[in-house]
């Protein structure tokens, strides 16, 4: 049996005065071995979300408890309370990829995953040789 999304919550927070427009998606996934995991995505709407593995290789009730606890924490947050998103799965790369993947293929992250835009940003950093002021003479050389 391939891994499948058992339950999903798509949340959003928007505060125009603070220029804040965030999404938070969380998934309860049944893995191929019968265990469960909980995966979340978060970030600014329109940007590629960061994907995080909250728990893995847990029994159904334990993973569901992690899932429900996180959803309630987001909904009851004192300064940035999230509510159900109108966009639903259309804003979630994880949900899209998981719904369209062939049987037997699992794309559940094993550790904290970094979004592809963050990977690209890291890849665009200038290469340095870690020698400070290499082209300059410093006072110790005189």
Q: Which domain holds residue 86?
A: 4-102
The pLDDT of residue 138 is: 55
Q: Determine, yes or no, domain membership for 118.
A: no
Q: Determine, yes or no, domain membership for 88.
A: yes
What are the C-alpha distances in Å from 142 to residues 45, 131, 136? 55, 18, 12
Q: Determine, yes or no, domain membership for 119.
A: no
Q: Give the list of residues 6+ apart from residue 123 with CB closer than 8 angstroms, or none.
A: none
Q: Determine, yes or no, domain membership for 114.
A: no
Q: Determine, yes or no, domain membership for 22.
A: yes
Q: How far apart are CA 52 and CA 30, in angstroms?
A: 16
- 97-141 pLDDT tens trace: 877 543 444 444 443 444 444 444 444 444 455 555 555 565 555
Cβ atoms of 141 and 133 within 8 Å: the answer is no
pTM: 0.68
- 83-92 pLDDT tens trace: 998 888 888 8
CA-only gyration radius of the chain, Å: 20
Residue 48 token pair: 């590629």
Q: Determine, yes or no, domain membership for 120.
A: no
Q: Determine, yes or no, domain membership for 80.
A: yes
The pLDDT of residue 38 is: 94
Count of domains forming the chain: 1
The pLDDT of residue 13 is: 93
Q: Determine, yes or no, domain membership for 71.
A: yes
């Amino acid at each position: 049996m391939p891994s499948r999304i058992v339950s999903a919550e798509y949340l959003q927070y928007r505060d125009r005065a603070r220029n804040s427009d965030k999404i938070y998606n969380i998934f309860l996934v049944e893995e191929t071995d019968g265990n469960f995991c909980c995966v979340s995505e978060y970030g600014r709407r329109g940007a590629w979300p960061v994907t995080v593995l909250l728990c893995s290789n847990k029994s159904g009730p334990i993973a569901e408890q992690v899932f429900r606890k996180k959803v309630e924490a987001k909904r009851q947050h004192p300064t940035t309370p999230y509510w159900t998103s109108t966009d639903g799965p259309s804003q979630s790369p994880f949900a899209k990829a998981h719904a369209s993947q062939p049987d037997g293929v699992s794309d559940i992250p094993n550790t904290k995953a970094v979004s592809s835009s963050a990977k690209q940003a890291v890849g665009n950093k200038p290469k340095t040789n870690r020698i400070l002021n290499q082209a300059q003479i410093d006072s110790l050389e005189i």
